Structure 1
Amino acid sequence: MKKFKLASILLVLSLILAACSSSNDANNENASGSDFPTKSIELIVPYAAGGGTDSLARSFADQTDLGQSVAVVNREGGGGAVGMQNGANANPDGYTVSMITVELLTLPHSGLAQFSYEDFHPVALLNEDPAAITVSADAPWNTIEEFIAAAKEENLKVGNSGTGAIWHLAASALEQETDVTFNHVPFEGAAPAVTALLGGHIDAVSVSPAEVRTQVEAGELKVLAVMADERVESLPDVPTLKESGIDLSIGTWRGLAVPKDTPEDVVKTLEESFGETAQSEEFKATLDTLGLGYRYENAEGFTNLLKEQDALFAELIPSLDLN
């Protein structure tokens, strides 16, 4: 009788262990990406609803076909730090994706965040907008060389979107590359900086081409150079700084990433789907409508970009004494 009871107990235990093993196998299978995704994916946007990053995220989410819905969740705060920290700390199962921006690199080096780009596994770069030097249409400078020469003789006022913001960093980087000194004038965003330029209160702005496109098309402003590796499609006649011998490429970008420990096959599934959407004509048209620049990179290319720019900001930001 005792042997029977013992055998019964062992049988029950073996069944329980088998069930647990099957459950774990199923969970591992889902985690490994064989059936991924099996539920809705959350896309964290680290900025408020209605902005450029949010509009881009929602358009991309609507156009992406993963077999499951992609729900955008806004978690703003700290200049993007709150949302990106949430994304870095999320369960690495592929069901939480973050829209990351250049602030992923600038905030830590400014002492405003504890995360780093290494806390994420990049999946796809969707957008890039370089900085550009823009002046009034009737300004005496028609080339970036003339502008730099003038800056060596006088204290030119260059407007930006706020102290420590990417456009301030872009102008500061230009200073270092050309051995000039600007009078940096911060504004609460790019739009008021452009308004000040139109009013003749400053000499130039270092914001993106998209943020001056309307005024350039109206003949009120002119762009002297873009801080990009290649010329901007919307401004084909405007040279890059590199064409003038100034080795500087800097600007803002937006892309998608998951926590660093996400399984590689899950990342691959996301990369393939996101890449298909990002390279579609529909998405490119969306960016054009939003006035945003286009640049796609897969996981490897995006990772290389993060490494290169992190090294740039690690050197640049401490030299600015922003605190």
Structure 2
Amino acid sequence: MDRLTNLFISIVAALCLASCSNQSPEEADERYPEDQVSLIVPFATGGASDVVSRAVAMAMEEELGVPVVVVNKTGGVGAIGVYDVMMANADGYRIGYVPVELVMYDGLQIASISPYEFAYISRLMEIPAAITVSADAPYNTLDEFITYAKEHPGELQIGNSGTGSIWHIAAGALAQEAGVEFNYVPFEGAAPAVGSLLGGHIDAVSVSPSEVKTGLDSGDLKVLGVMGNERDPVVPDVPTMKEQGYDVVLGGWGGFVAPKDTPEEIIAALDAAIEKSMETETFQTLAESRGLTPAYLPGQAFEAFAVEQYEFFNELIPSIEME
């Protein structure tokens, strides 16, 4: 068989395969999903984002009828995993969990990622920042803490979950509001920061109340103020920053996105599965134990919220002292 004949047969076979298996985008959308869905989590296993995503993935499997496999891609304050989703095919088979840092990457100059690069599925939850210190610290109120910081500029060491993380920005925003200087100490996550506080190596942490709950329960730590609009259920007796005269409202949030231009029908199917998963006892119990506030928003509302947050942080970040 000569090369020309071989080429002719190859072309005919390719055309035949295309004609036999080809389906319009509309038909593909109607049949979605036909294969497993990969859910990218941009943080390590065991953290709140990972644990919550796995609980949601399990419930989504029942709704979608296919496996939903969690894949952890870490690094760059979540930027590596988020970028992976941004560059994926817009077919609904690779979606991702996104944290509040999604709207901060541009302002921090960590990565060229903006909220305009995604199709939004659902917002899942919110979680406020808080200032926590050792139980035997020489300050029992936020005012006393701030007074100490003014008398000892740059001496108070405040741990966070990494340079450029929401918890880092939260402490910086408080310092700006109160007119004080802190010494920011980054860690690879909130857990090691809290461990360092418990070990007496730093003076405070600016993480969520749920991330210090074990230390609160043991009596080793105390929370001085919460950066939410309302008091946090983990520490209901602790007043918010605003209640104490400091206009600082900052915290984390999380939700799910898909690559830009993912068909609306696919987004709707994923959104319905995620909303249903939030009604399960597993998710509700997990959210309560982790101190997470369920805060569902559907796609369009989530997108509007993310853009609003993007504009807020792009104005805030350049105005605060980061070091």
Match of 1:212 in 2: 212
1:202 aligned onto 2:202? yes
Match of 2:313 in 1: 313
- d(CA) in 1 for partners of 2:188 and 2:46? 17
Aligned length: 303
Instruction: For 2:296, give the aligned amino acid.
Output: E
Contact 2:234 2:291 in 1 (8 A): no
The alpha carbon displacement at 1:215 in A equals 0.9
Instruction: For 1:296, give the aligned amino acid.
Output: A
- d(CA) in 2 for partners of 1:243 and 1:276? 35
Match of 2:293 in 1: 294
Cα pair distance change 1:98/1:300, threshold 3 Å? same
Deviations 1:57-95 (A, max 9, x none): 222111222222212223333332222112112222222
Match of 2:227 in 1: 227
- d(CA) in 2 for partners of 1:68 and 1:91? 18
The alpha carbon displacement at 1:98 in A equals 0.8
- d(CA) in 2 for partners of 1:73 and 1:29? 28
Within 5 A, what are the aligned runs for 1:1-323?
23-25=22-24, 27-31=25-29, 34-64=30-60, 65-155=63-153, 156-289=156-289, 291-298=290-297, 299-320=299-320
The unaligned stretches of length 5 or more in structure 1 are 1-15
Give SS of 2:31's match.
coil
Give SS of 1:43's match.
strand
Deviations 1:33-73 (A, max 9, x none): x3332332221122334443332222211122222221222
Match of 1:13 in 2: none
Percent of aligned pairs sharing the same letter = 47
Taking structure 1 as the reference length, the TM-score comes to: 0.83
Instruction: For 1:38, give the aligned amino acid.
Output: E
Contact 1:133 1:224 in 2 (8 A): yes
Cα pair distance change 1:281/1:304, threshold 3 Å? farther
Deviations 1:77-133 (A, max 9, x none): 333222211211222222221111122222332222122111112212223322101
Instruction: For 2:42, give the aligned amino acid.
Output: P
Deviations 1:223-273 (A, max 9, x none): 111111222112111122122233322222221111221222221222122
Contact 1:128 1:292 in 2 (8 A): no
Cα pair distance change 1:36/1:157, threshold 3 Å? same
- d(CA) in 2 for partners of 1:78 and 1:193? 18
Cα pair distance change 1:85/1:200, threshold 3 Å? closer
The alpha carbon displacement at 1:172 in A equals 0.2
- d(CA) in 1 for partners of 2:225 and 2:125? 19
The alpha carbon displacement at 1:162 in A equals 3.0
Aligned-residue CA RMSD (Å): 2.7
- d(CA) in 2 for partners of 1:72 and 1:195? 27
Taking structure 2 as the reference length, the TM-score comes to: 0.83
Contact 1:279 1:296 in 2 (8 A): no
- d(CA) in 1 for partners of 2:292 and 2:101? 17
Instruction: For 1:272, give the aligned amino acid.
Output: A
The alpha carbon displacement at 1:185 in A equals 3.0
